[in-house]
Amino acid sequence: MERPVSVKKIIIFAGSIIAFLIGSGFATGQEVLQYFAAYGYWGIGGALLTLILLMYVCSSFLIVGYREQFNKGNDIYKYYCGEKLGTCFDYFSTFFCFLSFIVMIAGAGATLNQHYNLSPIFGGIIISVLALITVLAGLSNLVDIIGKIGPTIVIISICLGLFSLVKNHSSLSPHIVIPALESLEANSKLIKASSSWYLASFSYVGFCMLWLAGFLASLGKKASSSLEAKLGGSFGGILFSCAVIVVALGLLSTIEITAGTQIPMLYLANDVHNMFSSFFALIIMAGIYSTAVPLLWNVSSRFTEEKTKSFNFLTVALAIVGLVIGIWIPFDKLVNIIYVINGYFGGILLLIMVLRTIKNIFIRKEKIYP
């Protein structure tokens, strides 16, 4: 029998989703720039499509995790795709999570480098050490920590985007935006995630899914009811997507300056005040941390049992390898290559999920109306 819905748990679930998705890509603005703002007004349409898809994906992962009570979160791939294809997705998503952890390291290094002119190694060390300590502390502590960080960063990001919109609203005029985008693209200063806005949106949700699947399936076990899981997933997807829309509009209003920068959001923060940009650099680091932690946990927990010596050893090794690679490769290039390629692979999972959902609907109807 399902227990009453807990508003506190819904908020924690939604906050954990937001915190996981924020990462170095959203918090820095690089992800939003490449997937949405780079397409002009069509990019906002892509963000709305992303909202719908993320609501479906997040709520589905949490509900299935609650109902199935998987031993390992990544067993959700076998639930949707069967034994063989599910195993393929399992290993691929694990590898992608580690690649994404490397992106977090690179994003932290780029943030401190751009604003404080520090070597990228400093930001990389800070995030890798903090993520390592948190993962070794356990998943329950992880959820409590990142569930509170996520909403805070989203609120600040939305306020920053709104400030930029109000200050630079005249720059959103079609006769300014369209020529600016065409000029930037002609000069190769504008990096796009795909050839079209809808494929970019599809790819975006795809790579988010490869991040979220195992984590939310494990988190779903903590739900008291399927309704609680559904509401937590839906609100998480809605709030994050709304933040994406506002930030995308803010970046679009300053596209001629933010395009080509490693950390576009720092420009928006500096536009408010240079002291605020120093504060926001720390906010970005918190966003990167909130995503780096579950990414690292996903990989370690896939191969070892939490709280064991082998888990601790593997986590330390992964943190070190991620740090070494992450401080060498440019952040914007990592986002464009790793996220986009893996996004299309995740898109295959999305199609399989939709087909499975449709199949389950027909099965339920057959049981009711034999």
Q: Is residue 24 part of a domain?
A: yes
Contacts for 267-276 with beta carbons within 8 Å, 24 or more apart? 268/29, 268/160, 268/161, 268/163, 268/164, 269/160, 271/163, 271/164, 271/167, 272/160, 272/163
Q: What is the pLDDT of residue 262?
A: 84
Q: What is the pLDDT of residue 330?
A: 83
Q: Is residue 189 part of a domain?
A: yes
Structure tokens at 298: 């996903």
Q: What is the pLDDT of residue 142?
A: 58
| Alpha-carbon distances of 200 from 143, 194, 196, rounded to whole Å | 29, 5, 6
Q: Is residue 2 part of a domain?
A: no
Tell me the residue range of the domain where 102 lies.
7-368
One-letter amino acid of 222: K
pLDDT tens-digit series, residues 6-54: 888 898 899 888 877 876 568 788 889 999 999 999 999 999 999 999 9
Angle at 331 between CA 328 and CA 333, to 5 degrees: 100
Structure tokens at 289: 């941390």
Backbone angles phi, psi at 102, to 5 degrees: -65, -40
Q: What is the pTM of this model?
A: 0.84
Q: Is residue 11 part of a domain?
A: yes
Q: What is the pLDDT of residue 369?
A: 46
Q: What is the pLDDT of residue 176?
A: 85
Count how many domains the chain has: 1
Structure tokens at 60: 């589905």
Backbone angles phi, psi at 188, to 5 degrees: 60, 30
| CATH of residue 145 | 1.10.4160.10
Q: Give Cα 330 distance to the centre of its chain.
A: 19
Nearest-angstrom CA–CA distance, 286 and 335:
18
**In which residue ranges of the chain is pLDDT below 50?**
369-370
Nearest-angstrom CA–CA distance, 282 and 307:
30
Q: Is residue 292 part of a domain?
A: yes
Quick one: which of 89, 33, 8, 25 has its CA closest to 248? 33
Structure tokens at 62: 């949490």
Q: Is residue 1 part of a domain?
A: no
Q: What is the pLDDT of residue 144?
A: 60
Structure tokens at 197: 């806005």
End-to-end CA distance of the chain: 26
